[in-house]
Amino acid sequence: MSGYDFSRDNNISGLWKLYLIMALIAGSILVFLTPVYEVPDEANHFYRAWQISEGSFLSPAVKNQEDGKIYLTAFYPKVFSSNETDTGNFDDIKNFLNTPVNYESITSSEISNTGAYTPLGYFPQALICFIARLLNCNAGVIFYAMRFAALIFAVVCVCLSMRLLPEQNLLIFLIGIMPMFMFECASVSCDPIIYGVCFLSAAYLFYLAKSENEIKPVQIFALITIALSIGLLKQIYGTILLLYFFIPYQRFKTKTKFFAFGLFLMALCIAVSLLWLHISVKQFNAELMILEGVADFQRQKDFIFSEPGRFIQILFTSRIKTFTADIARFIGILGRLNVILARWFYPVYALLLLFAAFTIKIRLGFFQRVIMIFGVMASIFAMDIFFYLTWTAVESNIIFGFQGRYLIPLSLLIFPVISCGSGLKNRTQFYTALTAGIISISVTLYGIFNFYYEW
């Protein structure tokens, strides 16, 4: 598409190395500092990863102890989600690391809201869990090793994204080092895998837009892999595939081949997602989470079709009223949405992200910016519908359940829309990243320690 141009003289070779060092150090601390299960839904994500490590890819059932906390009873009572006056103790971590896995007291249980997730989102965690069990490691060793596996995967994907997109290095660095990103990536959750794959996918699509050489078979294979991966991880991020249309159509020789393959990629992403949902939900009875006693799927669905105008109004009202909160949750309200960081940090970091996006040295045409905005809005629309059907009270004027962190995988569609700069000097970008990274990491670690532990 016309209007798209990359600068090729802004190769900041050192910035991805700086990110690798800082992210691994900060992430490694968070792996241990964040109490067990304090990342949203981490307990159920852990159950799902453990299940996959045992070779159960489809069944929603998982082995766990009678108290419902899989093999982790020694540390689980010290999780501080319900009582904010509780304080942590580093002896808890030590004791957890020394606690052997109790394989004798086992019953069956269901995973309430992750049973329908595909194994792809847990591959690094499940693999390291499988290896650790073979080595007869203690419960704490297995759990923290699973967190490390997810962290390393996400960090490597961010580094590769920076290598592919040197012109967006500062922006990618700032997103990858911000509190919410690091907090989620240092967990057993599938979010680190989703973040990593989405960032790398967007970066690769931008990268392909740089060249006018004929498309290669290996690149065709990579594009198909991207479509399959996003479809199997979280189909609502399939809008990232819209970046495909930034690739010069001449690379496919004809416009027909170019557009046909683009539509094929999108259809593939949707098809594989629907196929997995059919297999996991219909045939293996995995449950989609519905907030019991509040949401009514059928009544909400009827309302959408009977009053579409009012529903659209509710969508816009929800996003406007929660705009400030969504920004804060994008940057980082940690724990179970109860760890609020220094209040000055949120507006400062938001402005820094906007500054980094504004100064990106790429030129996007009007229609390409429209495509990116449309992609983000389409994903938000899909998320709002989901939460309206499953988490929102009947006839409510506000949609509940949406969180700003859900937009992190779409960051490379959101921020470059405002790019119109000539690029910062390499040294300026490096020291900006270094300063921002130190501040972000410090604020994150202080916030976690101050909330959960006693000085």
Give per-residue pLDDT as tens, 223-242. Answer: 999 999 999 999 899 999 99
The 10s digit of each residue's pLDDT in 109-132 is 566 667 778 899 999 999 999 999
pTM for the whole thing?
Answer: 0.90
Q: How many other CB atoms are there within 10 angstroms of residue 308's CB atom?
A: 10
Which of 444, 412, 439 lies closest to 332 in space, CA to CA?
444
* CB atoms inside a 10 Å sphere around CB 21: 12
Q: Compute the distance between CA of residue 421 and CA of residue 418 in angstroms, rounded to an integer.
A: 9
CA distance 196 to 176: 10
Angle between the 191-208 and 217-233 helix axes, to the nearest 10 degrees? 150
So what's the pLDDT on residue 66? 44
Helix (H, G, I), strand (E, B) or coil at 80: coil
CA distance 364 to 243: 12
Per-residue pLDDT of the chain (455 residues; tens, 9 = 90+): 444 444 444 445 589 999 999 999 999 999 999 988 888 888 888 888 888 888 878 765 554 444 444 434 433 434 433 344 455 677 778 888 888 877 665 555 566 667 778 899 999 999 999 999 899 888 889 999 999 999 999 999 999 999 999 999 999 999 999 999 999 999 999 999 999 999 999 999 999 998 878 899 999 999 999 999 999 999 899 999 999 999 999 999 899 999 999 999 999 999 999 898 878 766 555 555 555 556 677 788 888 888 888 888 888 899 899 999 999 999 999 988 889 999 999 999 999 999 999 999 888 889 999 999 999 999 999 999 888 888 888 778 888 888 999 999 999 999 999 998 777 888 889 999 999 999 999 999 999 999 988 77
Is the separation of the CB atoms in 211 and 251 below 8 Å? yes
Render 98-129 in DSSP notation, one character per residue.
TPPP--SS-EEEE-TTTTTS-GGGGHHHHHHH
Among 411, 280, 407, 417, CA closest to 360? 417
Longest alpha-carbon distance in the chain = 66
